[in-house]
Structure 1
Amino acid sequence: MQVVSWLPRTELPFAAPSRPELLVIAEPVVEAPAAPAPVAKTVAEPVAKPAERPKIEVPRPGSAAVRPVSKPVEEAEEAPAPVKAPPVPPPRFALQLLRAGRCLLLVELPTGEAFQSRDPAYLLLKDMLRAAGLPDSPQILAEPVRWPMLTRGNLDQGPDAARDFVQAFVGARVEEEPCVCLWLIGLPAVRFAGEADAQSYNRELQVEGLGSAWALPGLELLMEEPQRKADVWQAMRRLMARWKSSNE
């Protein structure tokens, strides 16, 4: 029964005497609890993850979903092409340059054809020259200027080109023989030689390279609206001294 020693409560008859050291009960030894050892703080080191291999998607046959290929960031998006303005149609006019005394006359041809001796517009022009004290048989200096000059081709024949041509054409005649006043008769003459509009009728203009100019309504307009002749006469009286003094 694994009993090392045991003591009876009473003395047993005929038993051998007990040893004294066996009667002393030893007190249990109580050990003091040991203080816990300080735990050092440790920082968990990050565990490097193994590099993941890029996934390569292989399109399966019959698959309709296709991912678009992304463009690099450095590639700039193309700007939309600028919308070109429609070309301006070329103006249409016919001008005749004449000389009367010390004045040049750039006259709009109402019919587009050169003046004839019995044309009503030409007869009106002769009356205006007589009233101004100038020769009533003006000298034709060149063939009429008809615009546009070409019916085909890519040559620029817009308003700016027409202005440059008319001013160069008249300027060449002014250099050959200066004039004291350039009559601009009709809106095309006022517009492309004087760089003005109908609001400048009966006014004096200063045109670079051409000198002093006088803007007048067209001959056909004067015939259709005779009341305009009074304004022309008043403006003529203010300017008449300029060419009359040169003729004396």
Structure 2
Amino acid sequence: MQVVNWLPRTELPFAAPSRPELLETPQPVVVAPIAMAAVAEAPVQPQAKPAERVKIEVPRPSLASTRTDAKVEEVAAPVVVKPPVVPPPRFALQLLRAGRCLLLVELPTGETFQTRDPAYLLLKDMLRAAGLPDSPQIVGDPVRWPLLARGTMDQGPEAARDFVQGFLSARLEDAPCVCVWLIGLPAVRFAGEENAESFNRELQVEGLGSVWALPGLELLMEEPQRKADVWQAMRRLMARWKESNE
């Protein structure tokens, strides 16, 4: 109730006497006009506003940019490149025996030789010129590659080379010979591990011994000028199988 002093209206019995200073009426305080004027004329100092905090905008990636970055990371990831699938080579080879020589001959048509085939007649002429029997004996069935039309078995060049060399090695164990004629590029490539640059050369092949690389019969018929190179190479090797026949 904010009561500072309290005075009773009548004298209370047995009460202590009141202090005289409490009964005096306080004088009102008079403010001097000059002081009031000075207060009124005093300029009001503007209050300084607190310094505003500078806002720093931090760029945030949008959803679209996040997706873009994710795509870039996916593209930048290393890509495993699979080696190209090499199709299996296609060829047909026939093994023949003439005296002490074996002949691995490319079949130009893919079919077994017939008596009146131009390629077979050319082969007979080459054997007569070499001093060998001109009626060679057929050894086994033709070697055809690929072996299977379908399937998951490896039928690439390496597998073809292993198969042809294994086939020849087995025949050599049955009946040794002094020289193997490789007639045609497939025979030279998959039995002698060489290419067309080795035509008319004598080669040494591990497991097969001495081999002679020749162009194919069909190529000799198409390019007769090659026969001269074959004849010159034959003259250098002829003594090898002639001595064997004596």
What TM-score do the two structures reach when normalised by structure 1? 0.68
CA shift for structure 1 position 200: 0.3
Quote the residue 1:180 is aligned against: 178
What percent of counterpart residues are identical? 83
Q: Distance in 2 between matches of 1:109 and 1:232?
A: 19
Quote the residue 1:41 is aligned against: none
Secondary structure, aligned partner of 2:153:
coil
Q: Distance in 1 between matches of 2:91 and 2:121?
A: 21
Q: Which runs of 4+ in 1 moved over 6 A?
A: none
Match of 1:208 among 206, 209, 225: 206
Match of 1:125 among 123, 126, 130: 123
Quote the residue 1:88 is aligned against: 86
Quote the residue 1:55 is aligned against: none
Q: Distance in 2 between matches of 1:237 and 1:220?
A: 22
Q: Alignment RMSD, CA only?
A: 1.8
CA shift for structure 1 position 81: 5.2
CA shift for structure 1 position 82: 2.4
Q: Distance in 2 between matches of 1:84 and 1:100?
A: 47
Q: Tell me which amino acid in the other structure corresponds to 1:82.
A: V
Quote the residue 1:224 is aligned against: 222
Q: Tell me which amino acid in the other structure corresponds to 1:234.
A: Q
Secondary structure, aligned partner of 1:193:
helix
The unaligned stretches of length 5 or more in structure 2 are 1-61, 67-76
Match of 1:164 among 162, 165, 170: 162
Quote the residue 1:10 is aligned against: none
Q: Tell me which amino acid in the other structure corresponds to 1:219.
A: L
Q: Distance in 1 between matches of 2:150 and 2:90?
A: 14
Q: Distance in 2 between matches of 1:137 and 1:129?
A: 8
Alignment of 1:1-248 (within 5 A): 80=78, 82-248=80-246
Looking at secondary structure, tell me which structure has more helix per residue: 2
Q: Tell me which amino acid in the other structure corresponds to 2:132.
A: L
What are the superposed Cα offsets for residues 222-244 of structure 1, whole Å, 9 maximum, x if unpaired?
A: 00000000000000000000000
The unaligned stretches of length 5 or more in structure 1 are 1-63, 69-78
